[in-house]
Amino acid sequence: MGTWGPGNFENDYALDYINEVIDKYIKEIEDLFNDEYAADLDELGEGVLIPNVVIITAIIENTAGYIYKDIVKKWKEKYLNIYDSQIDVLGAKEEYKIKRRKIIEETFEKLEDLSRTRKIN
């Protein structure tokens, strides 16, 4: 394994470890989307899924870890579809709905800006 700098994540072991940590959050998000109801707004969508996106973002901002852009785009599209289809049923006020949707969009966009394009051979 190699070291290329003095930083905390500038060696293969640390980089492998941080990507394993990120992968755990990715798997949890994927599992929520794969369950019929888990990603719903009144289930784990707002309480677990969105916080996991924020956690992945914080990790990537502070390390050499990464996530692929196509994954983040897929999540954003799926979650905004869930949001749009469920928020009215929950009785949220119009001002809240607009502000919350904007925050969700910005949350995914921040991670998307940090993500990598997957190279396909």
Q: Where are the domains of the chain?
A: 12-114
User: Tens digits of per-residue pLDDT, 11-32?
Assistant: 999 999 999 999 999 999 999 9
Position of tokens 């794969």? Answer: 34
pLDDT at 100 over 60: yes
| Amino acid 116: pLDDT | 87
Report helix, strand or coil for 11.
strand
Q: Spell out the residues 6+ positions from residue 4 whose beta carbon is closer than 8 angstroms to its own.
A: 10, 11
What share of the chain in percent tops pLDDT 90? 88
Q: What's the average model confidence in pLDDT over 27-43? A: 96
